[in-house]
């Protein structure tokens, strides 16, 4: 009778041990659902990593922005129209389609090498027509008859002079070449003024974008470090992974050694 009871007790103990072992194994860590609470815990535990990455990325972005040479943009406005003269029956700007075609034609006429060459000659610039056209932007303002000329340069005074000269040269050439055709005129109605604030670089904008990128990289690095770290740091973490309660913990201690005197 005692022997049967003893065997039953051993069997129950083994069963409990197997259940605990199975519960200890539990669900694999890689298959557990990752919640916002887990993300917050990882962020707090690896906060130094996130702050370090954030500081490095923002510092590099702002430093690179301050290191770059500022670029300024000057803009002028040109209006395109058609003067009706004697015997002139064709009105290209009388409809929306005609207005669009007329304005697009003038944009192409402004953004040409002859205009750039004449502007370079008048200002006595040491640059090529291709380089000038690369820094020149010609675009229509919405669906109007206005064309905006913009020029970017590291020197704000030079940018202003170039865009005003290009506008003047374009106005003269377009008006001179279209007299016999359809009396199309291009007139500079707003000359460019010298810009004060550079358009690039923008340290504030770059710093904000770098902060967002650095935060994402920092959190990603923190999650990677947490994924590669398989150590258990608290009884609660052991219970969460194993699924069984923790009955006791063994504190960390060190033995003090003394030298024996002779």
Range of the domain at 160: 72-190
Per-residue model confidence (pLDDT) at position 169:
93
Packing angle of the helix pair 47-67, 203-228 (nearest 10 deg): 150
Q: Is residue 20 part of a domain?
A: no
Are 168 and 230 contained in the same domain? no
- Rounded to the nearest integer, the mean pLDDT of the chain is 77
pLDDT of residue 108 exceeding 50, the answer is yes
Q: What is the pLDDT of residue 98?
A: 67
CB 227 within 8 A of CB 29: no
Task: State the pLDDT confidence band at 174, using cuts at 50, 70 and 90.
Answer: confident
Say if residue 77 is in the same domain as residue 184. yes
Beta bridge partners of 148: 77, 139
Same domain, 177 and 108: yes
């Amino acid at each position: 009778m005692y022997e049967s009871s003893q065997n039953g007790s051993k069997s129950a103990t083994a069963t409990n041990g197997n259940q605990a072992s199975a519960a200890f194994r539990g669900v694999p860590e890689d298959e557990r659902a990752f919640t916002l609470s887990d993300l917050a815990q990882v962020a707090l535990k690896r906060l130094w990593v996130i702050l370090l990455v954030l500081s490095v990325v923002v510092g590099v972005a702002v430093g690179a922005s301050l290191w770059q040479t500022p670029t300024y943009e000057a803009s002028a406005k040109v209006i395109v129209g058609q003067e009706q003269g004697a015997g002139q029956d064709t009105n290209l700007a009388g409809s929306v389609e005609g207005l669009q075609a007329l304005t697009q034609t003038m944009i192409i006429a402004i953004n040409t090498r002859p205009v750039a060459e004449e502007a370079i000659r008048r200002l006595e610039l040491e640059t090529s027509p291709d380089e000038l056209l690369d820094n020149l932007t010609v675009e229509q303002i919405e669906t109007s008859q206005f064309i905006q000329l913009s020029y970017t340069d590291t020197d704000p005074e030079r940018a202003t002079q170039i865009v005003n000269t290009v506008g003047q040269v374009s106005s003269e050439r377009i008006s001179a070449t279209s007299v016999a055709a359809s009396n199309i005129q291009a007139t500079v109605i707003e000359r460019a003024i010298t810009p004060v604030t550079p358009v690039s670089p923008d340290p504030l904008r770059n710093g904000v974008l770098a902060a967002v990128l650095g935060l994402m990289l920092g959190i990603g690095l923190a999650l990677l470090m947490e994924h590669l770290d398989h150590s258990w740091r608290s009884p609660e973490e052991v219970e969460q992974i194993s699924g069984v309660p923790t009955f006791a913990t063994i504190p960390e201690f060190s033995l003090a050694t003394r030298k024996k005197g002779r």
